[in-house]
Amino acid sequence: MTKLTLGSHPYLLGFEQLERLLERNAKSGNEGYPPFNIEQTSDHSYRITLAVAGFAEQDLSITVEDRQLVIRGRQGDDGPDRVFLHRGIAARQFQRSFVLADGVEVGDAIMENGLLHIDLTRAQPETVVQTIKIKRG
């Protein structure tokens, strides 16, 4: 039995890059931390919200790498002066990735009450009708 992949489907031409993006995102190590929401804020915009309590703006980085939005968090060391009797608040690093479709642009990133909001907009493509002339061979 032959495995039918997105790139090998006869009606989907030129989607090999999309298949590679999906495979890469599946392997990116996105576990459940930090938790996040994705909401549609209008017909052409979205907002990703990550719960990053305990992280300061300088502990976070947001990059777009090959159509992939990558949010990383790394907290600094507490220092030798702090002695914890109980430590229930995790201070671990994380990386969360989201694959962006063509035309999706990353807008503002806003930190508010321990939540990191990242706004995305999707440009509306123009409808293009192209007529192809038939040549005699």
**Number of domains comprising the chain:** 1
CATH number at residue 77: 2.60.40.790
pTM (2 decimals)? 0.71
Q: 37 lies in a domain?
A: yes
Q: Does 14 map to a domain?
A: no
Which of 135, 38, 11 lies closest to 96 in space, CA to CA?
38
Residue-wise pLDDT tens digits, 21-57:
667 666 655 568 899 999 999 999 999 999 998 899 9
pLDDT in tens, 104-113: 999 999 999 9
Assign 3-state DSSP to the chain and report helix, strand, coil percentages, each to 5. 10, 35, 55
Joined together, the tokens standing for residue 12 give 């989907």
Q: Residues 77-134: pLDDT tens digits?
A: 767 788 889 888 767 899 999 989 888 999 999 999 999 999 999 988 788 899 999 9
- Domain assignment present for residue 86? The answer is yes
CA angle, residues 133, 135, 137, in degrees to nearest 5? 160
Percent of the chain residues topping a pLDDT of 90 = 49
Residue 82: give the domain boundaries. Answer: 31-122
What's the token pair of residue 26? Answer: 């599946």
